[in-house]
Amino acid sequence: MATDSARPFQYSGGEVLPGETAHVRYPISETYLGDPVRVPVTIVNGSEPGPTAFLSAAVHGDELNGIEVVRHVADEWDHAALHGTVVCLHVLNVPGFEAQTRYLPLTSADLNREFPGKRRGNAAQRIAAEVFSNFVEPCDIGIDLHTSTRGRTNMFHVRGDLAHDDVARIAHAFGAHVVIDEDGPEGSLRTAATDAGTPTVTVEMGEARRFQRAMITRALDGVWSVFAEFGLYPADRVRWPGWRTVVHGDEERHWLRADAGGIVEMHVAAGAFVREGEQLCTITNPFEKTLTTVEAPFAGVVVGVLENPVVWPGNPLCHLARVHKRAREVLERRTDGE
């Protein structure tokens, strides 16, 4: 990935020379009044040659944790020793961010289902095409930062198609306890980027419409670890999280769903280890003395849980992933207080 000499980073309408940092408001669309809609991008081009990495946040406009991660990398890290280039995409879905909605306002399109986009396509496809061609496709690796949707929360974990060697390398270097090996949804940023030759992972952390400092700090450590792994920064902080489980396929994870309507009381938190048969939550009917208990069908880690406590039958309650033997032994010792 590295070259023999540092090179300019070029995008439509500009370039950033080695040793320079540029803060760009890149136009991606226009409002009803014809005013430009601009994506904030920071490009840090190191004086020394190396890979080009992108870091993106808020492709869903209400997912805020990643915005602080990208801002911190762009504005507070010391880039004097940078070998290569870091492209910081602070807020991908600007209209959604301004409206504090997950999707693009008015069209209700999910921008994370429109990549790599079409220059002559619909509004979402045009936005995706501008971002992708200028700031994603030129990169060697990528990290796309997400949270859960509203009403749920996710533990800190990484998702990627580990059949790609460099995707696996990114995912393991990030230092999360849980790595989910899966093809991304069609049209997602990580899928389109990986298919185009820019291996990319998704990082899931926390819940929408929050700044969760503990999650943000862990993500910053993970970004540094990945950048160290690929030689952008000194390789002295590649992280080992203490235990790790890699989840392959749907047979190793399961969304438990409500079989009754009512009000949910969760008894476990995201990130908890549970044993088979352990009570995860109860559902009560506010007008009767009806109680439905939901138990873990297997031992595993709680990847995601419901935050909004009201459900219909079929609504998701808890995302549970199996853990491999070595990780399970560590978790059982911790649970037992050893």
Give pLDDT tens digits for 290-321.
Answer: 789 999 999 999 999 999 999 999 999 999 99
Predicted confidence at residue 3, as pLDDT, reads 53
- Apex CA 48: angle with CA 53 and CA 84, to 5°? 5
Instruction: Give the least confident one: 15-29, 134-148, 232-246.
Output: 232-246
State mean pLDDT over 49-65. 98
CA distances from 65 to 28, 266, 291 (A): 23, 23, 36
DSSP class of residue 296? -
Predicted confidence at residue 98, as pLDDT, reads 96
Predicted confidence at residue 42, as pLDDT, reads 98
State mean pLDDT over 224-239. 86
Is the model's pLDDT at 1 over the cut of 60?
no
Taking the model in full, what pTM does it have? 0.94
- Closest of 74, 77, 17, 76 to residue 47, by C-alpha: 17
State mean pLDDT over 121-128. 97
Instruction: Give the least confident one: 4-8, 72-76, 181-185, 249-253.
Output: 4-8
Q: Residue 26 in contact with residue 111, Cβ under 8 Å?
A: no
Predicted confidence at residue 330, as pLDDT, reads 85
Where residue 85 falls among pLDDT bands split at 50, 70, 90? Answer: very high
Where residue 237 falls among pLDDT bands split at 50, 70, 90? Answer: low
State mean pLDDT over 231-251. 84
CA distances from 5 to 15, 49, 50, 140, 324 (A): 16, 5, 8, 16, 44
Where residue 325 falls among pLDDT bands split at 50, 70, 90? Answer: confident
Where residue 113 falls among pLDDT bands split at 50, 70, 90? Answer: very high
- Closest of 181, 170, 177, 179 to residue 238, by C-alpha: 170
Instruction: Give the least confident one: 166-175, 241-250, 296-305.
Output: 241-250
State mean pLDDT over 148-159. 95
Domains of the chain in start order, with CATH, are 9-241 (3.40.630.10), 252-335 (2.40.50.100)
Where residue 288 falls among pLDDT bands split at 50, 70, 90? Answer: confident
Predicted confidence at residue 327, as pLDDT, reads 86
Is the model's pLDDT at 2 over the cut of 80?
no
Mean pLDDT of the chain: 94
Instruction: Give the least confident one: 74-88, 101-115, 193-207, 287-301.
Output: 287-301
- Apex CA 311: angle with CA 305 and CA 316, to 5°? 40
Where residue 230 falls among pLDDT bands split at 50, 70, 90? Answer: very high
**CA-to-CA distance for 35 and 134, rounded, in angstroms?**
21
Structure tokens at 271: 């990130």
Write the burial class of residue 222 (CB in 10 Å: 0-12 exposed, 13-18 middle, 19+ buried).
buried
State mean pLDDT over 242-259. 91
Where residue 4 falls among pLDDT bands split at 50, 70, 90? Answer: low
State mean pLDDT over 249-274. 93
